[in-house]
Structure 1
Amino acid sequence: MDNSHRLVSSMPSTVSPAGGAVWGHSDKASAWSNRSLGARCRNSIALCSDEQPHIGNYRLLKTIGKGNFAKVKLARHILTGREVAIKIIDKTQLNPTSLQKLYREMRIMKTLNHPNIVQLFEVIETEKTLYLVMEYASGGEVFDYLVSHGRMKEKEARAKFRQIVSAVHYCHQKNIVHRDLKAENLLLDAKANIKIADFGFSNEFSAGSKLDTFCGSPPYAAPELFQGKKYDGPEVDVWSLGVILYTLVSGSLPFDGQNLKELRERVLRGKYRVPFYMSTDCEVILRRFLVLNPTKRCSLEQIMKDKWINVGYEGDELRPHTEPAENFSDTTRIDVMVGMGFSKDEIREALSGHKYNEVTATYLLLGSTAEVSLDHTLTVGCFTPGQAITLRSISLSHRLPPSSPSTHSIAGASGVSSSRLSRGSTVRSTFHGGQLRRPPTHALTFSPHCSRHVSGHQKASEPRTPRCGWDVRVRSARDPAEVVLALREAAQGCGCQVHVAGPFLLSCTHGAAGARVAFEAEVCQLPGGLGQSSGVRFKRLWGAQLAFRDIATKVSKELEL
C-alpha cells in the first residue's frame, strides 16, 4: 500500500540546526588544512570571521523557503563560487513513516540525471539534521512568470512544454511517478529552461502493482484521485501535464472552484472552456491529456509524435531522453580539484562509488552550468545582495500566501475568468491521503532573482561596512561604484578571471592549474571616523596563501584611485 507522506520541514530562523549544536572543531577539521579553509568541520555549521554561517563547504546567504519541519537556504559553494539551494530537514520532528518517505525522496533524486530536473549535489547528514544540497534555479517559478506576464504565446509554451514532457517521460522510463506536477513546481533557470522540482510525493511504480494515495494539488489532480480509485502511476502525471499545458497557454486553470467540493464536481465532469485564441492543434493535443477514463488517456510516447508539440521542430521531433554516460574522467575538472587540495584517488573513489559527498558535489558543480575555460580558470555563478530569491524545489506542506492575494491571480487575457489562480487559495493547497493542509496564518512573499519577468527588486545602493579585523588594503574618497569599475579593470589587467558576484563584490581566480588561487575583492564602506571613504577588502577563498598575497598586492598596486 502506498502511504506517501508529504515531507515538509521548518526550522527556527537561527543559524544552528534543530539539535541546537554548532560544530566548529573536530577530528575531521584537519582534513581542510590543505584547502585553506581553516578548522571548520566538513559536515558542520560554523561562523566565519565575518559572522556568516556555513554548512560544510557552503556559505549560507538567506532563507528562501520554509515548511513545518525544514527550511531552504540559498548558499554559495566556497570552493567553486556556485550558488545552490540547501534543504535543511529536522529529522527529530519526523515520525518513522515520514523519515522513510524522506529517504525515498533522496534516493529517487540520486537516480535522476536530466537537464530539466533539479539536480542533487550532496547529502550531509548528522544525528538530528539532514541537508540536501540541490541545484538553484534563479528564474523562479513558472507560476510567478504567468502572474507577471500572463499567458504564453503558443510558441513559447511549446518550447517549455517539450522540456516538461521530456523530463516526465524520463521519470516514467525509470519507473518513477512525480504526483505533484504543477506550475509552482516548475522552475526556470537563468536561461529560462525548465527545472522540475519537489519530488516529495514521488514514488516508484511497477506493472501490476497499484498506488492508492491521493496526493498533489487538487486543480491538477486526475479525476480517479478524487474518486479514491487505485492507479498505476504515469496516468495521473499525464492528466496533470494537460492542466499545465492549459495553464501555460491560457494563463488560467481548466478546472477550479470556490471550494473543494465545487472543484471536484468540475474535474469529474471533465468540461472546460477552450479560449478563442487557442489553436486547433493545441486543442487537439489538450483533449488527449484531459481524458476522464485513465485507460484511454494518451501516453507520453504518443504525445511526442503529436503535430502541435513538434511545430517548428521539423527534423527534430521530440524523442525520449537518452541519459548521457557518466563522465568521471574530466581532466579539466579533476585538475581544478587537485589545485583545491583534493587527491585524484579520493576523487576517483567518490565518483565511482556514487557518493554524494563534498568531493562529488565539487566535481558536479564544476561541470554543471559553470564554465571551465581552457586555461583552467573558473567562471562561477553569482548572487546579488539585496535581492530576494525564489526557489521552492522543496516538499512544503503549503504555499505561503502573499500579503495581497489579488496580486497573485491569473486571469486569461481572453476573458476566461472563471478559473483564476490565487496563491492563498484553499483548493490549491497540497493534498496527501485526502487530507488538506491548513493554510498558514502569516504571509510571506517571494521575488525571483535574475528573472526577466519580475521587476521592482532593488539592489543594494551602498556597500556594507566591514567589521574589525578585515584587511582593507586600499582607500578612496571616490564613489563606490567607480571604485568597483576600477577594481575590475585592475584585476583583469593582472590576469585574473573576474566575475561580478554583487554590486560591490567581485569573485576572482588567478594562476595556472596546480598554483591557482580564488579570492573575493569587495568594495566596502569604511567604519566611522573616515568620512565617506571606501575601501577594498581582499579575502582568500582557496589556494596557497603566498599566491593570494602576491596577487592581492599586485591588484592593489594597479588600482588607480
Structure 2
Amino acid sequence: MQLKRNIGSYRVLKTIGHGTFSEVVLAANKGELYAIKTIDRKTITDSNEAAFENEIRIHQKMRHQNITELIDLLVDENNYYLVLEYCSRGDLATFLVQNRACNEATVKEIARQVLSALEYIHSHNISHRDIKPENLLIDSLFNIKITDFGLSDFFGEDCLMSRSCGSVLFASPECLSYEPYNGKTTDLWSLGVTLFTLLTGSTPWHGNDERSVAEEIRTEEVRLPRWISPYCSDFISRLLIKDWRKRMTIEEAYKHSWLDENQTNNSLSYISKNRNCLYNESKLANSSIKPSERRSSHLTEEKLESFIKEIREVEKKRKIAVASTESVLDFVNVP
C-alpha cells in the first residue's frame, strides 16, 4: 500500500503498523497527532462487510478514558480510513519485547484500568473478545487504552455468544469448545492470560501449534510461578478458572485483596529487584483512570451513518460491475 502525503485534512507522517488487509499511519492535523487505519476498499466484500460495519458501529459507541477514541471516518477512491486517537507509547506487546516482563505493581495498575474499560464495554452489552497485549495501548500519560473492536459483538440478556474469538493464545476454554459462551467472562479469561503474560514474559501455554495450544487451554490447569505474591496469584487464578460460571466477575475483581490499596503497595515507583517495568512506573501510577491530555471531537452518529451508506454503495457498484463482467464473458463464450 503506497503511503499518501495527505488523507483529507490529515498530513501523513509515517507508517506505524501493518495488518493483513490494512496499515496504520501517523498523521497530523491542526497540531494534533492521530493514528489512521487504512483499509483497501477491495478487501471489503460480501463476506466481511457486515463485520466491518459492526466494528465501526461498536467503536463509535465507546467513550471511556481507557478506550481509544474513534474520531473520524474518511473514504476515497481506493481506501477507507478510520481516524483514531494516537497512543504515543505503543502497545503492551512491544513493551514486553523491550522489557521482558513487568512487576506486580505495574500489572496491578494495568488490571485496574482494563477492568474499568471492560466494565464499561459490558454495560453496553458488548464483548470485546480479543483482549491481549497487542490490543492494549499506552498513551503519553501512561493510560492503558483498549483498541481494535474488529471481533467485538453484542450479546443478549443471557450474555451468551457463539461466534469464535480472536487469538487462540488468549481465547477462553469455552470459546475454543465451539459452544455458547458468556461474553463477559470470556473477556475476563483473556485478561487473566494477559496479566500472566505481563508478569512472566510469556503465555502459560507450551504447545507448538494452535491445535495443541487449544487442547492445553481446554484441559490443563494453569500453574503460576512461586515468586508471584499470594494475592496476585489468587487474583489471576480466579480469572483462569475453566468453568466460566465459577470464574471471577468484574464486581468480585474490584473487591479482591490484590486490588485493595490498603492491603498492598500501590506505588508503581517500586521496582522489583528481579523484574523490569514499563518505562517510568511512577507516571503510570499517577495517571490511573485519568482523562488523556486531549479529548478529541468524537465521531458523530450522522458521520457514521454517512460512512456506512458509502460502504454499501461501493459494494453495490462492485456487485453490478462483477455481474456485468460475467454477462459479457458468458456472451463471448457462447458457441
Could you say if the C-alpha distance between residues 144 and 128 of structure 1 is closer, same or farther in structure 2, counting changes exceeding 3 Å?
closer
Question: What runs of 5+ residues in structure 1 fail to find an aligned partner?
Answer: 1-11, 16-52, 325-329, 334-349, 358-561
Whichever of the two has the greater Rg, that structure is 1
Is the 1:74–1:83 contact (alpha carbons within 8 Å) kept by the matching residues of 2? yes
Q: Are 2:190 and 1:240 equivalent residues in the alignment?
A: yes
Per the alignment, do residues 274 and 219 of structure 1 end up closer, same or farther by CA in structure 2, a change over 3 Å counting? same
2:120 and 2:263 map into 1 onto residues whose CA distance is 20
The 3 A distance-change label for structure 1 pair 282 and 137 is: same
Q: 1:185 maps to what in 2?
A: 135
Cα separation, 1, equivalents of 2:253 and 2:2: 45
**1:211, distance to aligned residue in structure 2 (A):** 2.0
RMSD (CA atoms)? 2.7
- Give the corresponding residue for 1:503: none
TM-score, scaled relative to structure 2: 0.76
Q: Within 5 A, what are the aligned runs for 1:92-491?
A: 92-126=42-76, 128-208=78-158, 210-311=160-261, 354-356=301-303
1:13 is aligned to 2:2: yes
Query: 1:92: how far off?
Result: 2.5
Q: Which has the higher contact order (CA 8 A, sep 6+)?
A: 2
Residue 56 (1) aligns with residue 8 (2)? yes
How far has the Cα of 1:56 moved from its partner?
1.3
Partner of 2:17: 65
- Alpha-carbon distance in structure 2 between the residues aligned to 1:201 and 1:90: 19
Counterpart amino acid of residue 230 in structure 2: T
Contact 1:270 1:290 in 2 (8 A): no
Q: 1:82 to 1:104 in 2, by over 3 A?
A: same
- Paired with 1:272 and 1:209, the residues of 2 have a C-alpha distance of 26
* Aligned counterparts of 1:289 and 1:243: Cα–Cα separation in 2: 8
**CA offset at residue 351 of structure 1?**
8.1
Match of 1:140, SS?
Answer: coil
Give 1:167's aligned amino acid: A
TM-score, length-scaled by structure 1: 0.47
Shift of 1:268: 1.6
Q: How does 1:496-511 map to 2 (within 5 A)?
A: none
Counterpart of 1:407?
Answer: none
Deviation at residue 274 of structure 1 after TM alignment: 1.8
Task: Give the Cα–Cα distance (whole angstroms) in 1 for the partners of residues 136 and 169 of structure 2.
Answer: 15
State the one-letter code of the partner of 2:20: N
Unpaired runs of 5+ residues, structure 2, are: 267-287, 305-335
Q: Provide the rounded CA distance (Å) in 2 between the counterparts of 1:305 and 1:145.
A: 29
Are 1:75 and 2:27 matched, yes or no?
yes
Relative to structure 1, the CA distance from residue 189 to residue 209 in structure 2 (aligned partners, 3 Å threshold; closer, same or farther) is: closer
CA distance in 2, matches of 1:180, 1:109: 14
Q: Percent identity?
A: 35
Measure the CA separation in 2 of the matches of 1:353 and 1:156.
35
Matches of 1:90 and 1:113, distance apart in 2 = 27
| Inter-partner Cα distance in structure 1 for 2:47 and 2:299 | 31
- Residues 276 and 131 of structure 1: CA distance in aligned 2, closer, same or farther (over 3 Å): same
**Structure 1 counterpart SS, 2:145:** strand
Instruction: Give a deviation string over 1:203-260, Cα, whole Å, max 9, x none.
Output: 1111247322222111111111221111131121011011011112222211231112
Instruction: Say whether the 8 Å CA contact 2:70–2:298 is kept in structure 1.
Output: no
Instruction: State the shift of 1:14 in Å.
Output: 4.4
